[in-house]
Structures are given as C-alpha cells and as structure tokens.
Amino acid sequence: MKVIDTGLPGCVVIEPAVFGDERGYFYEGWNAARFGALGLPTAFVQHNVSRSRRGVLRGLHYQWPGNVQGKLVSVLEGEVYDVAVDIRRGSPTFGRHAAAILSAGNKRHFWIPEGFAHGFVVLSEEAVFTYLCTAPYDRDSDNSLRWDDPRLAIDWPLAEVSLSGKDAVAPLLADMPAERLPLFVA
C-alpha cells in the first residue's frame, strides 16, 4: 500500500495495492499489521455505510467531548470529494484542511484522525460511502461545523449542495465555543 501525505499531520490518503485480471480485482481495505507499522489505527469499533445522491454534502462532523472519533473512509460505488479539517485548539495547523477525491475507481482510503472534522460531497449520480470508526457514535458528543465557513476556505467542487437540517444551521468555527473543540496534544 502507498501512503500519501496531505500536509496535515496524521491525516493521510492510503492507496491499496490492487490485484486484478479479467475476472475482477482484489485489494486489502484494512490490515491491522500493515496499518500499525505505519502508525495508523489498528482497532475500530464501528463500521458505517451511507448511500447518497449527487450534490448531497454531509458534514463537517466531529465528536467532542467524550467519544472522539478517528475515521478511515472510502467509497464502494461512485465518487466523492472528501475533506478533513484540523479543529484541535492549539494545533499549528488549526483551521487548515486536506481534501481528496475518493472513488470506486481509485479505491483510495482517507484517514481522518481524532480531533478533525470530516465531510464529503457526492460528485457522481450516487455514491456508497463507508467508514470505520475508532469510537462509537455518541449523540451527546455529536457536533457540526459550517461546511462553507469562509475561514476554512474549502473549495467544494459543486456550487449547489443538499444539506441536512443540522448541517444547514451548523456554526462557523469562530463561533464554536472553545469547550466544544478538541485540544491539541503534542
């Protein structure tokens, strides 16, 4: 597997080795020993799958306090523009983001570390999105940030998006109370 640095410490794109022939293809989506050797997580507690249509934007989501989640995300069908934002108070890269195109075709995975917000927008007609989480979903720790926060300067590839009610009213990063943001630990 190939690991691609995103410029945000700990946040990486993973390109698996794909083995194919006329019958189809095979690749390892996750391997504890290989991930551990790269300093990536080796224990996940929840696996989620979502299906969304073109233009659906989910995010920017994170959990704090309590059950902070790291996420290993990928796409099984279709294509998405995926974004991770460092929201750890005191981080040298606070407010910076990294983005990657994830698709069934490129088979890339994106590791979003704990303390990062995450979101994606569907570029294809539909997409099936999958993610492994290091902590279970916790409604009391669930938070959202505004997807189009000017301070984050995310260049989303679609001008018109479809949002959930929660995401449509999410606050800007500057308006989020400090106690609702994770703390950077060096």
Which residues participate in catalysis according to the annotation?
Answer: 61, 131
- 97-136 as b/e, with b when 16 or more CB fall inside 10 Å? bbbbbbbeebbbbbbbbbbbbbbbbbbbeebbbbbbbbbe
How far is the C-alpha of 123 from the C-alpha of 78, rounded, in Å? 8
How far out from the chain centre does Cα 95 lie?
15
Answer for the pair 51, 44: CB distance below 8 angstroms, yes or no: no
How far is the C-alpha of 19 from the C-alpha of 31, rounded, in Å? 16
